[in-house]
Amino acid sequence: MPEPSFLLDGMLGSLARWLRIMGYDSEYLRDEADGELLAILGDRYLLTRDKQLAQRAGARGFYMESDDLDVQLSAVVERFGLRLDLERTRCTACNGQLERVPKERVEHKVPEGTWSGHQDFWMCQGCGKVYWQGAHWKNIRGRLDQLMSRK
């Protein structure tokens, strides 16, 4: 069975970022009209805070009852059987796929302290944004580990 992919409407930008960190293709469209979202849905699941829009999407629609991010993440993880796969993490900015790159390739794209203090870097194949597991990574992992342990 293929991994689920998602289309999120304008009210779920934070959820889209966290699903991307978990490794799931999550297209976020902030300003699209409901009809446009439904027209481009394809094989994706529509995640929305709009109950009527979720109903119009039929089996591909999933209404997010809560506006609390942790509750939203828990609901999506449970409904779709998601798992954390750090090897598949996607770009939080554009949803592009990340690829591990040699340290030398990012020398002039990150601050000197970051470059000298880290060995592993990833670059988005879409927008070119560079990622590394900095101090914030412990908080990200902690939040996701806590979320996944609640399943």
Domain assignment present for residue 13? The answer is yes
Domain assignment present for residue 122? The answer is no
Which residues have a Cβ under 8 Å from the Cβ of 93 and sit 6 or more positions away?
124, 127, 129
Domain assignment present for residue 75? The answer is yes
In eight-state DSSP terms, residue 90 is: B
Q: Which of residues 143 and 79 earns the better pLDDT score?
A: 79
- What SS3 state is found at 123? strand
Taking the complete model, does pTM exceed 0.85, yes or no? yes
Q: Which helix (H) or strand (E) holds 66?
A: none
Domain count, the chain: 1
- pLDDT per residue over 114-141, tens digit each? 999 999 999 999 999 999 998 888 888 8
Which stretches of 107-135 are DSSP H helices?
A: 112-117
Question: 57-76: buried (b, 16+ CB within 10 Å) or exposed (e) per residue?
Answer: beebbbbbeeeeeeebbbbb
- pLDDT per residue over 57-74, tens digit each? 999 999 999 999 999 999
> What backbone torsions phi and psi does residue 116 show, to the nearest 5 degrees?
-75, -25
State the pLDDT confidence band at 150, using cuts at 50, 70 and 90. Answer: low
Residue 79: domain span: 6-86
Q: Which residues does residue 99 pair with via DSSP β-bridges, in sequence order?
A: 123
CA–CA dist 62, 144 (Å, integer): 21
Tokens of 51: 């109950």
